[in-house]
């Protein structure tokens, strides 16, 4: 299996299955001399961890990261940062009933066909548990990106949409609600909606918006590795993501060029920002903002018709613990992946001129 590494210079490789001994990662390319705040890293992990509120899965995981290398006397050494997160709540027996079943819209079938074998316990490698490793590395990236803020929030759940543009929101309030929507009134509605879906044993999707401030002009490698192309790949690699748009996005397709073009001001800033902070694949100093679409997760607490490995019709039972809506826990993952992309492009940007 290729595809377990992300980034060119600031490069994360992850490993681990949902119900193995541990998950973890190796982060290469972090420059030496960075003071590491381990508490801040753990705080990001805690934002992602299960069981944090009534609208997330009730599974409990300590999700404590252990650093094995690369940090000495609190400072990065320039050497690879190895870390693990032990799997403490691996109730594998919960999964014996689905050992030879293909759950609809999960990766069970495709893994079985691709690899022959598969670790059926909790989705194995395909579980979103893998993203905890991304959050660890992303938290280190955030510490490298000192003057940059990366703020994601839930902007829609199902048909409930927060219509205000991000500029009108107080993004410091995102963490005030368990759904991670900065607008209190909308947050309450979202929570009620998710709760009602949960009671049905069902799940629901939504959109996360991410806003990045403070990126200087010049990050992004044109042609294939455009900054937004790497952000897109980063976001699309998160479990359950179905779409990505930045700046004017899909709605920009309905505009005329004369409206869409962002006029320059004498200081090099632009009067509007339909470009979303990126022009020609390179940051232009304006805010970068984008939307990420999440489908309703496939694990539902309802019985579903399906097939087993022998191709026979079966019923997949809905039981156990699940997230009725992954959006709240996905907010730190979106931020982490954005941070990984930016850290990588920050380092690459140092090489553009003699």
261-280: which residues touch a second copy (CB under 8 A)?
A: 261-268, 270, 274-276, 279-280
What angle (nearest 5°) sits at the alpha carbon of residue 331, between those of residues 172 and 235?
130
For position 245 contacting a second copy by CB under 8 A, the verdict is: yes
- The verdict on 214 binding a second copy (CB under 8 A) reads no
Tell which one of 221, 329, 333, 335 touches a second copy (CB under 8 A): 221
Residue 15 β-bridge partners? 24
**36 binds a second copy, rule: CB under 8 A:** no
d(CA 41, CA 138): 9
Examine residue 297 and tell whether it contacts a second copy (CB under 8 A).
yes
**Structure tokens, 224:** 């294939």
Write down the least CB distance from residue 51 to a second copy, Å.
20
Q: For residues 275 and 72, what is the distance between their CA atoms, to the nearest angstrom?
A: 42
Q: In this structure, are residues 189 and 141 in contact, taking their beta carbons and an 8 Å threshold?
A: no
What does the DSSP assignment read for 79-103?
S-EEEEEE-----GGGGGGGTTEE-
What are the two backbone dihedrals, phi and then psi, of residue 287, each rounded to the nearest 5 degrees? -60, 140
Least distance (Å) from a second copy to the CB of residue 236? 4
Compare residues 144 and 170 and give the one whose CB is closer to a second copy: 144
Q: Can you point out the beta strands (E) in 95-193?
A: 101-102, 149-157, 160-161
* CB of 146 or CB of 172, closer to a second copy: 146
Decide if residue 186 touches a second copy (CB under 8 A).
no
In the complex with a second copy, which residue's Cβ is closer, 172 or 265?
Answer: 265
- In three-state secondary structure terms, 8 is coil
Out of 56, 57, 126, 177, the only residue in the binding site for a second copy (CB under 8 A) is: 126
We find the least distance from the C-beta atom of residue 58 to a second copy, in angstroms, to be 17
Among the candidate windows 49-57, 69-77, 162-170, 177-185, which touches a second copy by CB under 8 A?
69-77
Q: Is residue 51 involved in binding a second copy (CB under 8 A)?
A: no
Applying CB under 8 A, which of residues 207, 212, 288, 336 lies at the interface with a second copy? 207
| Beta carbon of residue 176, minimum distance to a second copy (angstroms, whole number) | 23
With binding defined as CB under 8 A, does residue 135 bind a second copy? Answer: no
Interface with a second copy includes 106 (CB under 8 A)? yes
**Token representation of residue 94:** 């919960």
The tokens of 350 are what? 């140092």
How many CA atoms does the CB half-sphere of 294 hold within 13 Å? 32
Q: Which of residues 42, 52, 53, 78 is near a second copy by CB under 8 A?
A: 78
The minimum distance between CB 307 and a second copy, in angstroms, equals: 4
CA-closest candidate to residue 179, choices 326, 323, 328, 58? 328
- Alpha-carbon span 225 to 214, nearest angstrom: 20
Q: Is 197 in the site for a second copy (CB under 8 A)?
A: yes
């Amino acid at each position: 299996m290729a595809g377990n590494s992300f980034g060119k210079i600031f490069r994360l490789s992850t490993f681990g299955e949902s119900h193995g001994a541990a998950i973890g990662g190796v982060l290469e390319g972090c420059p030496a001399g960075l003071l590491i705040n381990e508490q801040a890293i753990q705080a990001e992990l805690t934002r992602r961890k299960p069981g944090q509120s009534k609208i997330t899965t009730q599974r409990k995981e300590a999700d404590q990261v252990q650093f094995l290398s690369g940090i000495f006397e609190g400072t990065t050494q320039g050497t690879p940062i190895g870390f693990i997160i032990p799997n403490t709540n691996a109730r594998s027996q919960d999964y014996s009933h689905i050992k030879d079943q293909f759950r609809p819209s999960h990766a069970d079938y495709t893994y079985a066909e691709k690899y022959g074998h598969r670790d059926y316990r909790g989705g194995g490698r395909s579980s979103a548990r893998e993203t905890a490793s991304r959050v660890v590395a992303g938290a280190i990236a955030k510490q490298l990106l000192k003057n940059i803020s990366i703020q994601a929030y839930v902007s829609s759940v199902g048909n409930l949409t927060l219509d205000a543009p991000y500029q009108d929101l107080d993004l410091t309030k995102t963490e005030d609600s368990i759904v991670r929507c900065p607008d209190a009134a909308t947050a309450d509605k979202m929570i009620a909606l998710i709760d009602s879906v949960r009671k049905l044993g069902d799940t629901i999707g939504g959109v996360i918006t991410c806003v990045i401030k403070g990126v200087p002009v010049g990050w992004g490698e044109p042609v294939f590795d455009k900054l937004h192309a790497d952000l897109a790949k980063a976001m699309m690699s998160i479990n359950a993501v179905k779409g990505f748009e930045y700046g004017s996005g899909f709605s920009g397709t309905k505009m005329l060029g004369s409206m869409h073009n962002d006029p320059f001001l004498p200081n090099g800033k632009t009067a509007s920002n339909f470009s979303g902070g990126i022009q020609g694949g390179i940051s232009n100093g304006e805010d970068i903002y984008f939307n990420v679409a999440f489908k309703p997760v496939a694990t539902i607490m309802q019985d579903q018709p399906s097939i087993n490995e022998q191709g026979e019709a079966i019923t997949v039972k809905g039981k156990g613990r699940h997230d009725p809506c992954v959006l709240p826990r996905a907010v730190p993952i979106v931020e982490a992946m954005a941070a990984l992309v930016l850290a990588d492009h920050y380092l690459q940007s140092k090489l553009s001129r003699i």
